[in-house]
Amino acid sequence: MRLAFTLEYDGTDFSGFQLQKNAITIQEHLEKAIKEITATDIKINYSGRTDAGVHAISQVFDFETEIQRDDNSWIRGINSNLPKSIAVKNIFHVPTDFNSRFSALERRYAYVIYNSTNKPLFFDKFSHWITNEIDLDEMQIQLEMFLGEHNFTSFRSSSCNSKNPIKKVSFVDMKTIDNFIIVTIAANAFLQNMVRIMVGTLIDIAKQENKLSIMDILKKEDRVYAGKTLPASGLFFLGPSYNENLNIESLEHNLFDRLKI
């Protein structure tokens, strides 16, 4: 049988999700926790490779096993062997050909900005602090230019090894409450650092530090025209979406509600 799980984590102290040599990652902790309760070396699939310092509200991972445990026992057992900053939330019984990564239809990220002259003392690990005045109306206009299928070469890191820079953005949103600004973006897939560069460019335009529009920068297909790569601390992976026939509730739509800001 194949089981899938949703997972949340504070990525601050980890070198990303994917297993690495000489670095502590989320995958390493998960596979060790699973081994503790199965006495088996199990390699997991996962829906998105989050970078060092990036958080997740609803990462999805799956694996195949013949071990029989009730659902609550799986969740409690794995969680009891994880650090407090990582937690399994839900379990789903999925078809044997399900793959967290390749079965995903789209993925969604949210970036949290704290816009104030005062430091976000209790949210410092989970937001990017900006003291400058931001033109929110202009930021919204520019954000909507990302919708559709584009070549995102201007919005990828120099070390990105993806062979196809063309991605389709299906949803964008910007919400504000008090000093917080949350930018949400959904696409079929993302390039390395893509969201952090997209939001960094939006901020530069909103601060009038970049005179080009998002559409202009997309057409340039050159990283030099886009803005800074924002820190990982403000980025949250909200999760993937799957075919509704799978009955997997794996996507958090509203970060405001989830974090109860």
pLDDT in tens, 53-96: 999 999 999 999 999 999 999 999 999 999 999 999 999 999 99
CA 134, distance to chain mean position in Å, is 24
Q: Which helix (H) or strand (E) holds 3?
A: strand 2-9
pLDDT value at position 244? 87
Q: Tell me what pLDDT residue 185 has.
A: 97
* Structure confidence at residue 154 (pLDDT): 97
* Residue 250: band (very low, low, confident or very high) from pLDDT cuts 50, 70, 90: confident
252 pLDDT exceeds 80? Answer: no
Which residue in this structure is represented by tokens 């080009």?
Answer: 212
Which residue of the set 10, 13, 51, 137 is catalytic?
51
Give me the pLDDT at residue 254, please: 65
Average pLDDT over residues 94-118: 95
Contact yes or no for 113/196 (Cβ under 8 A): no
- The pLDDT value given to residue 180: 94
Q: How far apart are CA 194 and CA 150, in angstroms?
A: 13
Residue 29 has pLDDT above 60, yes or no: yes
Q: Which residue type, as a one-letter code, is found at position 211?
A: K
The span from the CA of 117 to the CA of 127, in Å, is 14
Of 140-144, 160-164, 177-181, where does mean pLDDT reach its minimum?
160-164
Buried b (16+ CB within 10 A) or exposed e, 17-42: bebeeeeebbbbbbbebbeebbeeee
257: confidence class by pLDDT, cuts 50, 70, 90: low
The whole-number pLDDT of residue 158 equals 87
- What residues have CB less than 8 Å from 203, skipping those under 6 apart? 113, 130, 134, 139, 227, 230
Please state, rounded to an integer, the average pLDDT across all residues of the chain: 93
Q: List domains and CATH numbers for the chain.
A: 2-103 (3.30.70.580), 106-238 (3.30.70.660)
Query: Does the pLDDT at position 9 exceed 90?
Result: yes
CA dihedral 241, 55, 91, 189 (to 10 degrees): 20
Q: Is 51 a catalytic residue?
A: yes
Region 200-214 average pLDDT: 95
Kindly report the number of other CB atoms within 10 A of residue 244's CB atom.
8
Per-residue confidence (pLDDT) for residue 253, from 0 to 100: 64
State both tokens at 250: 């794996």
Percent of the chain with pLDDT over 70: 97
17 SS3 class: coil
Banded model confidence at residue 159, pLDDT cuts 50, 70, 90: confident
CA of 45: how far to CAs of 2, 19, 77, 191, in Å?
11, 11, 19, 19
pLDDT the model gives residue 162: 87
Q: Residue 220 carries which side chain, given as an amino acid letter? A: K
CB neighbour list of residue 220: distance below 8 Å, 6 or more residues apart: 154, 212
